Amino acid sequence: MTQTLAERIDMLYEARLRNPENPQNELEFFSKGTGWFSSTDPLPELEYRLKPKTVTREITYPVPLRDAPEHRTTLYRAAPEISVRYELVLWHGLDYQAQWLLDGLLHSTKEVAIAHGKALAGDH
């Protein structure tokens, strides 16, 4: 028989009560005042869910540009969401371009932007 997600969460909640140290049984609780939070104490009166799993990884990539370039300078944005991992940018200082600069996504060469985009995407 296939379990529904609600049944699975209920089962994990019961397992959490029996064995709170098992990280596979980690739950988060929801309060209107604080949002989602972890607790070692059972709080059956609150809405609960499985705690989202996280991935931790270290990446290395070339240093991006830090200063705004001259108007109409050709730049390259590290773009992990694009299959080629970079995007050509003609700098006009537009709001979204300035945000890319602040986010550390702009580079002066295509090769460096590709390396950065691959690092962000998790490519080897």
Which has the closest alpha carbon to 115: 90, 88, 82, 80?
Answer: 80
Strands 74-78 and 106-107: antiparallel
Domain map of the chain by residue range? 5-50, 74-121
Q: Which helix (H) or strand (E) element contains residue 12? A: helix 5-18
* pTM of the full structure: 0.64
> What does each of the 124 residues of the chain score in pLDDT, given as a tens digit?
566 767 777 777 777 667 766 665 677 889 888 899 887 676 778 887 877 777 888 989 999 999 999 999 999 999 999 999 999 999 999 999 999 999 999 999 999 999 999 999 998 6
pLDDT, tens digit (0-9, with 9 covering 90-100), for 18-51: 776 666 567 788 988 889 988 767 677 888 787 7
Helix (H, G, I), strand (E, B), or coil: what is residue 44? coil
Residue 7: φ, ψ to 5°: -65, -40
